Amino acid sequence: MSAISHRKWKYAPATAAVACIVALQIALGNSRPWPENWNANLADPIDDLQVWIQDHRLTHWLFTGLFNPVSDFIESSIAQVAEWIAWLPWYTLALLAFLSIARTKRFVSATVCALITLYPAAVGLSEATTETLALIVVAILIAIAIGLPLGMLTALNPSAERIGRPILDAMQVIPATVYLIPSVIVFSIGVTPALVATVIYAIPPMVRLTALGIQSVPSATVEAAESFGASKQQSMYRVRLPLAAPSIVAGINQTIMMALGISVIAALVGAGGLGQEVQESLRLRSPGRGSIAGFAIVAIALVLDRVSKAFTEPRRTNRKIPIAQRIATVAALIAVIIIGRIAQWIEIPVHLNTSAVDSIDDFVIWIRDNLSEPLKTMSDFFVRELLIRGHRLMNETLAWPVVIAVSALIGWWAKGWRTAIFVCAGLAATGATGLWEQSTDTLIQVIIASVITLAIALPVGVVVGRAQWLNQALGPVLDALQTLPSLIYAIPFVMILSLSPVPGILASVLYAIPPGIRLTALGIQQVPEETVEAATTFGASPRQVMFGVRVPLAMPSIILAVNQVIMMVLAMVIISGLIGGGALGFEAITALTRGETGLGAEVAVAIVAMAMILDRCTQGIAHKLTPGNDRQPS
């Protein structure tokens, strides 16, 4: 009897909360969206600051003595690196890539990467690739110079870690476009604001993985070094950092990937390079041309990824390379470069046929012309039945206090009352920006794209998790999908469906599928085989083993896949704004193109609030679904 009574009272708080929400909706059913007079007008003081900056850019000491010299230094550094790269013979970078990877005795991978390095120049994108590579090199060096000491600080100082964690979270969820807006105001149009935005966007993984690597060093090893008289500084530089090197290099690798990921957005402020080529392909609506430039970015990413990993992966032999052999290799490389310069072997002699550009364009045009009716029907369904109805539900049917109350209830169920309070504060901050309707429209698009992505990624991930050959076959495809500039996905959809929110949703699906598949497959693969064997012994069929054992035990990883899919879709908000998606993405693009820094700050607040709310709620659900953590919210 007591057990039955306990079960009744278990759901009493949630039932009471739902009843209160229903009563609140009935009482406020005719209320409008967030009241206009509750707008905090965050943009006004920021716009005033922008006007002051524009008036004093050439006279105030802060610019003449600090920002302008910094801008000149950055521009000259990037120009110098670009000149060095352009000065090298065409085969130099391929040789460097080959030698870096070949030191691990992986000669096939070294050869493939060397050939991939030649691709951009072979398709006529040598100059654009040089510009992008120079920007990335300087940005990565600055990110390492800042991120490495910050990672060391947060690893050893709990207070710094507590302060830095929410800052790093916010830095990773703010769209790169938002960083560009104040950078343009301070530094004007050019490569400098692009580099500043790239560095800020790329620093968090460097800090996090450096801290993780240092914290992972066994305390016994550090204590042993200190017991032999090593100072704190000596134990850091001679023990902790060397042992944390694999994690630090992984941080550099992730920093490189994130820096390349915003190369297209950086072109919006005059950074040029391959990003400009991709944006030009959108203007011309040429997916073929965009693919050529996109694969050049993929080539850079792939080579830099493999080269950075070559310095942490164990060699296939324990025999060290003799010093004399190393010196001879460096001398031979220098000699080959000098010979190439003397012989003027600067331009690559091989040029690939890019007629496939026209074929890709023709194929997309054929789809548009021959499948226009079903595609238009699908697009109209998305707009009429999902987007418009969702907008009416969030802004006309439900009163805004009800939306906040329901969201808070979800946060309480997911992770407790602290998360519920955080959800309320985040939504209140969103409303205070005056972008409530745009935020709800963005949320609807994110939900639609995430549901479609998960409907594809989860079953595929389950199948991939059980088939090793399929996992290996899909690996390169998923790598390419993750590395291709996000704008590339949008171009064919724009050609087929014209400008609307639908191309942005479909492009978001393609962009977010890889982590969904990979994390789901990882969860399935990590289920202990002993548990599966026990279920099989008791007569469970393969279907029962899958849905009764594997999937439930993999649920934390699957929920993490849901979390990452949502974050990836949210990262596509700006791209959606470029191609007719409206909502917060359109506001961000408007703020950048018109130089409205205040509006950009308001968009940043709204997107960060949405991202952090979704992140905390999905992480809380993952924690609840982990065996042994099914406690009630507190």
Q: Using alpha carbons only, what angle is made at residue 418 by residues 413 and 421, rounded to the nearest 5 degrees?
A: 90
Report the pLDDT averaged over residues 39-63. 81
Helical axes 372-381 vs 356-370, angle rounded to 10°: 70
Specify whether the CB–CB gap between 44 and 597 falls below 8 A: no
- Count of CB atoms situated within 10 Å of the CB of 142: 18
Distance CA 234, CA 237 (A): 5
| Residue 424 neighbours by CB under 8 Å, 6+ apart | 404, 407, 408
Distance CA 337, CA 360 (A): 38
Digit-coded pLDDT (tens) for 302-347: 788 788 777 766 555 555 666 777 777 778 778 888 887 787 777 7
| Residue 537 neighbours by CB under 8 Å, 6+ apart | none
Tell me the one-letter amino acid at 162.
Answer: R
- Quote the tokens at residue 51: 């006007």
User: Quick one: pLDDT at residue 438?
Assistant: 85
Highest mean pLDDT among 141-145, 192-196, 282-286, 517-521: 141-145
| DSSP class of 631 | P
Residue among 100, 170, 26 at smallest CA distance from 608: 170
| DSSP class of 268 | G
- Quote the tokens at residue 193: 């604001």
Distance CA 408, CA 398 (A): 15
- Count of CB atoms situated within 10 Å of the CB of 475: 12
Residue among 133, 91, 80 at smallest CA distance from 346: 91
Percent of the chain with pLDDT over 70: 87
User: Quick one: pLDDT at residue 30?
Assistant: 62
Which pTM does this prediction carry? 0.74
For residue 163, pLDDT beyond 50: yes
Highest mean pLDDT among 115-129, 217-231, 459-473: 115-129
Residue 328 phi, psi (nearest 5): -65, -40
Distance CA 251, CA 200 (A): 14
- Count of CB atoms situated within 10 Å of the CB of 554: 24
Distance CA 546, CA 548 (A): 6
For residue 57, pLDDT beyond 50: yes
Report the pLDDT averaged over residues 482-510. 76
Specify whether the CB–CB gap between 400 and 34 falls below 8 A: yes
* Start-end of H helices in 344-435: 356-370, 372-381, 389-392, 400-415, 417-432
User: Can you say whether residue 189 is alpha, beta or left, with left for phi > 0 and alpha for psi between -120 and 50 degrees?
Assistant: beta
pLDDT tier at 10 (50, 70, 90 boundaries)? low
More confident residue, 228 or 121: 121
- Quote the tokens at residue 282: 């959108």
CA within 13 Å, CB half, 99: 16
pLDDT tier at 1 (50, 70, 90 boundaries)? very low
Report the pLDDT averaged over residues 19-43. 73
Distance CA 184, CA 195 (A): 11
For residue 629, pLDDT beyond 60: no
- Quote the tokens at residue 397: 């049917």
pLDDT tier at 221 (50, 70, 90 boundaries)? confident
Specify whether the CB–CB gap between 466 and 524 falls below 8 A: yes
Burial grade of 632 (CB within 10 A; 0-12, 13-18, 19 or more): exposed
Distance CA 306, CA 281 (A): 28
Residue among 612, 558, 570 at smallest CA distance from 450: 570
Report the pLDDT averaged over residues 412-441. 85
Specify whether the CB–CB gap between 286 and 357 falls below 8 A: yes
Distance CA 143, CA 139 (A): 6
Distance CA 330, CA 339 (A): 14
Tell me the one-letter amino acid at 125.
Answer: L
For residue 372, pLDDT beyond 60: yes
Tell me the one-letter amino acid at 254.
Answer: Q
User: Quick one: pLDDT at residue 29?
Assistant: 67
- 3-state per-residue secondary structure call for 383-396: HHHHHHHHHHHHHH
User: Quick one: pLDDT at residue 11?
Assistant: 59
Q: Using alpha carbons only, what angle is made at residue 428 by residues 423 and 429, rounded to the nearest 5 degrees?
A: 100
Distance CA 589, CA 583 (A): 10
User: Quick one: pLDDT at residue 368?
Assistant: 73
Distance CA 265, CA 498 (A): 21
Specify whether the CB–CB gap between 448 and 399 falls below 8 A: no
- Count of CB atoms situated within 10 Å of the CB of 388: 12
Specify whether the CB–CB gap between 465 and 522 falls below 8 A: yes
End-to-end CA, the chain: 26
Distance CA 331, CA 63 (A): 45
Across 49-53, 372-376, 437-441, 460-464, least confident range: 372-376
CA within 13 Å, CB half, 331: 6
**Cα separation values, 197 from 42, 194, 313, 384, Å:** 22, 5, 31, 37
User: Quick one: pLDDT at residue 54?
Assistant: 77
Across 90-94, 319-323, 417-421, least confident range: 319-323
Residue among 215, 210, 204, 221 at smallest CA distance from 245: 210
Specify whether the CB–CB gap between 152 and 209 falls below 8 A: no
User: Quick one: pLDDT at residue 8?
Assistant: 52
CA within 13 Å, CB half, 42: 17
User: Quick one: pLDDT at residue 188?
Assistant: 75
Taken in order of first residue, the domains within the chain and their CATH numbers are 128-318 (1.10.3720.10), 357-634 (1.10.3720.10)
| DSSP class of 38 | G
User: Quick one: pLDDT at residue 176?
Assistant: 67
Task: Give residue for tokens 């002993």.
Answer: 530
Burial grade of 466 (CB within 10 A; 0-12, 13-18, 19 or more): middle
